[in-house]
A and B are shown apart, each in its own frame.
Chain A
Amino acid sequence: MNIQAMAQDIPVEGEHTMEGVDFITSGDQYLTFLLAQEQYAVDILCVEEIRSWEQPTKIPNAPSYIKGVINMRGIIVPIVDLRLKFSIGEASYLDTTVVIVLTYHNEGNSRTIGFVVDAVSDVLNVDNADIKPAPAFGGCVGPQYIEGLINSENKVVTILNVAHLQKVEQHRLHS
């Protein structure tokens, strides 16, 4: 009996083929969401969780796009309304309004911030080569926040730079 031949027949863990499942691919994955009618995306590895909108506790004298802070399992998380920050569409709070909580790790520090968006849509698999630089033509979203553009079917998705999003601008007290 040839034991070695038998051993080769036993499938090694992780080698199973899974038909119809396309989530194991090369390239990065991005979570896409809607601000008004526009599609945006962030690196899915930064997404901590997606919550439904709830009225946060206000931070005194904060800019209008900082809605306040919420309690996420004992952690105080500030909430930023991306629609107000980028001046896209109207900041209405409906049942479908969601908060995407992003955590960005940077040299041992991590920051967790929630971002209010109109709706979460899909997960995109993107090859790094497919990301195109954004043309430097105006727009409400500052160029530092944009990592690139990708074409998804007939729409264009803007990939946002999470590291920059997490840098909530230091706002001064209006005194």
Chain B
Amino acid sequence: MSIDLSQFIPSFLEESFEGLELMESELLNLKEGDNETIDSIFRAAHSIKGGAGTFGFVKVTEFTHLVETLLDEMRDGRREINSKDTEILLESVDCMRLLIEAARDDEEYDQDKVAQTTSRLAETLGDEPSSDSDNQSENMVAASNVCGYTINFIPEHSLAKTGNDPLFIFSALAELGQLTLSADCNDLPALVDIDPQELYLSWQLTLYTDADEAEIREIFEWVEDECLLEVVPIPDTSNTSQDIDVLASEEEPQSQSTTTKQESLVNTPKSSTETELAQDGKVEDENIPAKAKAKADVGSIRVGVDKIDNLINLVGELVITQSMLSELGNDFDMDKVDRLTSGLEQLLQNTKELQESVMRIRMLPISFAFNRFPRLVHDLAIKTGKKMELVIKGEQTELDKTVMEQIGDPLVHLVRNAADHGIESCEVRLAKGKPEKGTISLDAYHQGGNIVIEIKDDGAGIDREIVLAKAVEKGLIDVNAILTESQVYDLLFEPGFSTAAEVTDISGRGVGMDVVKRNIQSLGGRIQVESTLGKGSCFKVHLPLTLAILDGQLVKVGSETYIIPLIAIVESLQIDNKLINRVSGDMVLYRLRDDNVPILPIYQLFNLATKCTEIDKALLVVVEADGQKIGLMVDDLLAQQQVVIKSLKDNYQQVAGISGATILGDGSVAMILDIPGIIHMALAQAQHAQREKTDGNASVTAEVCL
């Protein structure tokens, strides 16, 4: 029976990343004498090592082994917990993540970093301060002047019956270094007496490796009780341990003389029994699927059993309602109308609940996004030499998985900014009468249909004067411009804007805040800044709970129905003829209080036939995106409703001016307008038209779309 191990790799990876996250957060909380924490870190490392071994991620196993050794020493109290070691361990966690990711994608990893950390780990392990003689640490030290081992492996005859196959053990050993082996057939009975299920052979193996004895013994772990095992180190006789090849050839004749037969593992002993031969083929079979690594990263969600149970309950109820309704429909007469109405009501209720719980499956607590911040702040504190702590609140607030994945980077940026620009150095803080330690707080909560994430610091705050001066200097605003508070803060999100007096390697290059804003906007959210000079700043990120559902305004243009996202609409109004102005040739503007809003007829943009071409008979929906207001001319306003967003890209392609489609109550499809896209389209069209005119090309047909 062969099991395709590769099918378990995705879950191993998932568990490993969780383990790494746990290690990281526990390491940050690690205090002197806290054995429980160490234990849980150790367990996480151990299961990663075990799993990696099973799936043949040798690099991960080797590296994790070092980490484990260090942790083991800490656990046994042989090593004091100090911040230096914790730093190294944190770094090791990064390396493990790197290695596992490399193993997952079957790619190369940053070898320098791993090598560096490995040597630092080895160094730490080497200059072990404790004096008590311990077997394992001795082994570790001893390992450095041992170039290999002779292993005597005499299994009991019944070994094969327990499902153990020496071949697997040997191939695992061969991965550690150069392996030569010889089988001892002396025990073989005469052919008539052979029980094909018994194992009559014993082996003597010579392994040249830099692995230590414990690693070798670990390979024999499963058969330990059923065999006689001797592992004798071969002392390193040559000067350089790297000349294994030379050594091997030196040693070979010697070992050959003592044994009857010798073959390298590559040509597995074919001389033995028939069972062996059969197994030989099997080994190859099993190796193939293990190599075929799961490359495609299929996103998966871990869902609580309670959520699933709830879903099953609801589906059960739905089935009951359905059978009730169909029974009612079998022989329906007017007396049963009441029962029908109540049945339909029940159906409505069931569907609503079902929809809600299905949506809830996609929701994850925001702690998934927040988890990386303790480490980040810890690292930043060391880098900047400031003292700061991170307070996290509302980490149980749930958020759609897609939103969560995309909000991570902008949040990192904001937290970095808070640590670098916000929090002052200890001296400044003390001089200002603030506590020495700065506080950065992350908070998440629901507000209406949105989720709000607050990134707050008690640092210096934003100096509006400096922002203004900088903006003038960069030519972003006029010297005499009078800006409101929020307009000043909006300047922070202009590309290339930075107020940091010094550019550090953490932040201050002014690249980023504009990206942060763009990312948040692409999620359909917005960012808001509050700040008091000397007291601190607060960045509030408002995000929609989910990307799958949108509040929309249904509008009619000709025979088509379109949906305008409610969040983009400034106001909808009946057009007053007196407020329409035609300027600079053919541009139609609408005076909306102080603003002049360009009017864009949707029927023209999308080339639709409509009777409603007169501006004064139509309705105007004023929308805003990227700070640009525009008036969309529509025939009629219909209902407002929540719509489920469906992608057009799945079966078709992206359409300019359309962000997606949805299915209305009557089963028909309606397009959702992409407001920023439409503004972009209108601009491009205007430019095109202008070029046509200046070219003197009067062919109107080119303007008319097909």
Minimal Cβ-Cβ distance residue in B for A69: B669
Instruction: List the A side residues contacting B684 at CB < 8 Å.
Output: 175
Q: Scan A86-121; emit 1 where CB is below 8 A from any B CB, else 0.
A: 000000000000000000000010011100000000
Asked, given contacts A71-B663, A173-B656, whether A59 binds B671 with beta carbons under 8 Å apart, the answer is yes
Instruction: List the A side residues contacting B296 at CB < 8 Å.
Output: 108
Of the listed residues A56, A60, A174, the one surrounded by the most CB atoms of chain B closer than 10 A to its CB is: A60
Instruction: List the A side residues contacting B162 at CB < 8 Å.
Output: none
Minimal Cβ-Cβ distance residue in B for A107: B296
Minimal Cβ-Cβ distance residue in B for A59: B655
Instruction: List the A side residues contacting B576 at CB < 8 Å.
Output: none
Is A77 engaged at the interface, CB distance under 8 Å to the other chain?
Answer: yes
Contact in complex: B605, A60 (CB < 8 Å): yes
Is B385 engaged at the interface, CB distance under 8 Å to the other chain?
Answer: no
CB distance from A97 to the nearest CB of B (A): 19
Of A58, A77, A174, which one neighbours B706 at CB under 8 angstroms? A174
Q: A residues 46-104 with Cβ under 8 Å of B?
A: 56-64, 68-71, 74-78
Instruction: List the B side residues contacting A78 at CB < 8 Å.
Output: 648, 651-652
Of A59, A61, A71, which one neighbours B668 at CB under 8 angstroms? A71
Contact in complex: B658, A60 (CB < 8 Å): yes
Minimal Cβ-Cβ distance residue in A for B689: A175
CB distance from A57 to the nearest CB of B (A): 4
Is A168 engaged at the interface, CB distance under 8 Å to the other chain?
Answer: yes
Contact in complex: B606, A168 (CB < 8 Å): no
CB distance from B661 to the nearest CB of A (A): 5
Of B646, B650, B669, B681, which one neighbours A56 at CB under 8 angstroms? B669
CB distance from B105 to the nearest CB of A (A): 17
CB distance from A79 to the nearest CB of B (A): 10
Of the listed residues B606, B650, B658, the one surrounded by the most CB atoms of chain A closer than 10 A to its CB is: B650
Q: A residues 138-175 with Cβ under 8 Å of B?
A: 168, 170, 173-175
Of A61, A74, A174, which one neighbours B663 at CB under 8 angstroms? A74
Chain A interface: which size bin?
A: 20 to 34
Question: How many angstroms from the CA of A71 to the CA of B296 in the assembled complex?
Answer: 30
Is B685 engaged at the interface, CB distance under 8 Å to the other chain?
Answer: yes
Question: How many angstroms from the CA of A61 to the CA of B706 in the assembled complex?
Answer: 7
Of A59, A63, A71, A74, which one neighbours B658 at CB under 8 angstroms? A59
Contact in complex: A57, B656 (CB < 8 Å): no
Contact in complex: A76, B650 (CB < 8 Å): yes
Is B256 engaged at the interface, CB distance under 8 Å to the other chain?
Answer: no
Question: How many angstroms from the CA of A26 to the CA of B656 in the assembled complex?
Answer: 47
CB distance from B605 to the nearest CB of A (A): 7
Of A58, A64, A75, which one neighbours B608 at CB under 8 angstroms? A58
Contact in complex: B651, A76 (CB < 8 Å): yes
Asked, given contacts A69-B661, A175-B688, whether A57 binds B651 with beta carbons under 8 Å apart, the answer is no
Interface residues of A (CB under 8 A from B): 56-64, 68-71, 74-78, 108, 111-113, 168, 170, 173-175
Nearest first, the 7 closest Cβ-Cβ pairs linking A and B are A60-B606, A174-B705, A57-B669, A78-B652, A173-B656, A71-B663, A175-B685
Starting from the known contacts A74-B646, A76-B663, 19 additional A-B residue pairs (CB-CB under 8 Å) come to A56-B669, A57-B669, A60-B607, A60-B655, A61-B656, A61-B657, A61-B705, A71-B668, A74-B663, A75-B646, A76-B652, A76-B661, A77-B651, A78-B651, A111-B650, A168-B652, A173-B656, A174-B705, A175-B681
